[in-house]
Structure 1
Amino acid sequence: MPNRIITDISDYIFVSGEPQKVDAIFLLGGSHPEQPEYAAELYRQGLTDWIVPSGGVSVKEEKWHGVRSKAEIYSGDYRSDCEFFTDVLVKNGVPQTAIIEESKSGHTRDNAFLSRKAVDEKGIMIKSGIIVCKAFHARRCLMLYQMAFPNVDMTVCPVHCYNITKENWYTTEKGTDRVLGELARCGNQFVGDLKTYLDLI
């Protein structure tokens, strides 16, 4: 691909901001502990009072697919992304009372909207948030969480999983498939909700 195209795609997909004090940190489901470990680090720095881990089981596999790194540390009999993330958070110094769990979602859109439901049911007012997600997942996460929380100032603070980064994604077939797949989903997953989103803002 020409360098300009690579740069444009990279800048669009790999959204990243600096950590700051926020009302809540949102975690999208997954099987890598690096996401909740980073969220726990931000909590210990005093950057939030609440962490919202989200995720049930994969809608494709209909089961939880297991820990993909550091399984020697996190060896519980986890049944969902949320259960796994919660255990990682607690083991890294986050009190259970600071965690708002969402364990029913099976894909990114549900992560966002069911997290909104969980926060609302808790009666917590959220004006600012950090999204901790995989780096190549950042744009789609930001789009969907902005739809679920249209009046909340969201910042994405990504982590790198699968060794797919803004600098190297186009150099491997795996990276190219992941990033171009995200690019396509950023379009087709937004279209159906566009009118609803515009009505809210």
Structure 2
Amino acid sequence: MITDQSWSDARQVWDHHLMHHTPRPCSVIVGLGSHDLGVADASAGFYLRGLAPLIVFTGSTSPTTRDRMPRGEAVHYRERALALGVPESAVLIEPKARNTGENIRFSRAALDEAGVDVDSVLLVSKPYEERRSYATARKLWPAVDIVSASSPMTFEEYVASIGNDRMVIDMLVGALQRLLVYPARGFMIEQPVPDEVAAAYERLVGAGFTSRLMP
């Protein structure tokens, strides 16, 4: 049973994860691999709106995607984008990355190898990974302008789309923990966490939403 307080706290954490950037034309779209095909849908939608001439899908597999995406996250994302009308020539795949840092570094290397000049990136992730993705890219790719985006969904819509309420809240909590601890490890730039968001995070941890926390 998820209490009203936990739902309220989860919405507050969700809102903090969103960067509220307005998608705009960029040199390239980079879609970060995950269990969520909505990233591929959003990336394809941005391409079809003319916001970039090229998409890079990046991602290998993880314990949460191995069964669902056996050919790898980037490959499945590419197949989804092609089915949505993106031409094959407009998609690069980077099939080796296993975390957000590798997503950024390996995508950058793939674009360099392809001879693509990049001064701005429309970075597409799951909604609750917008801030983490942005902070990671700003650390590892500081010379380019980063616009962070995702599928335009409310918290309630996202929970319904995943179909597992507790897992979504666990993921929100895990993503916030990384915002708190990763800057000191050199993985991302620091993103201030307001006191009320930190308090909501602590209440959720205390309520047992801990399966995605690092030791």
Same fold (TM over 0.5): yes
Name the counterpart of 1:116. Answer: 108
| Corresponding residue to 2:32 among 28, 33, 40 | 28
Name the counterpart of 1:12. Answer: 16
- Give the counterpart letter for 2:173 in structure 1: L
Name the counterpart of 2:45. Answer: 41
Q: Deviations over 1:30-79 (max 9, x none)?
A: 23322212211211111101101000111x47x72315xxxxxxxxxx51
- Give the counterpart letter for 1:178 in structure 2: M
Name the counterpart of 1:66. Answer: 68
Query: Judging changes above 3 Å, is the alpha-carbon distance between structure 1 residues 99 and 45 closer, same or farther for their aligned structure 2 residues?
Result: same
2:38 and 2:126 in contact (8 A); partners too: no
Query: Judging changes above 3 Å, is the alpha-carbon distance between structure 1 residues 84 and 125 closer, same or farther for their aligned structure 2 residues?
Result: same
Query: Judging changes above 3 Å, is the alpha-carbon distance between structure 1 residues 16 and 165 closer, same or farther for their aligned structure 2 residues?
Result: farther
The offset of 1:150, in angstroms, is 0.5
Look up the SS of the partner of 2:80 in the other structure: helix
Moved more, 154-163 or 106-115: 154-163
Moved more, 10-19 or 100-109: 10-19
- Give the counterpart letter for 1:14 in structure 2: L
Name the counterpart of 1:71. Answer: none
Name the counterpart of 1:55. Answer: 59
The offset of 1:165, in angstroms, is 5.5
Name the counterpart of 1:72. Answer: none
Question: How many matched pairs?
Answer: 180
TM-score (norm: length of structure 2): 0.72
| Corresponding residue to 1:176 among 131, 149, 169 | 169
Query: Judging changes above 3 Å, is the alpha-carbon distance between structure 1 residues 82 and 150 closer, same or farther for their aligned structure 2 residues?
Result: same
Look up the SS of the partner of 2:93 in the other structure: coil
Look up the SS of the partner of 2:131 in the other structure: helix
Q: Deviations over 1:154-194 (max 9, x none)?
A: 1111125995759xxxxx64443221211111233332226
Look up the SS of the partner of 1:101 in the other structure: strand
Percent pairwise identity: 22
**What stretches of structure 1 of length at least 5 have no aligned partner?**
68-77, 167-171
**What stretches of structure 2 of length at least 5 have no aligned partner?**
160-164, 191-215
Moved more, 81-90 or 173-182: 173-182
Query: Judging changes above 3 Å, is the alpha-carbon distance between structure 1 residues 45 and 164 closer, same or farther for their aligned structure 2 residues?
Result: closer
2:138 and 2:146 in contact (8 A); partners too: yes
Look up the SS of the partner of 1:181 in the other structure: helix
Distance 2:11 2:35 in 1: 29
Distance 1:10 1:45 in 2: 26
- Give the counterpart letter for 1:64 in structure 2: R
Distance 1:95 1:161 in 2: 30
Look up the SS of the partner of 2:92 in the other structure: coil
1:164 and 1:175 in contact (8 A); partners too: no
Distance 2:89 2:167 in 1: 39
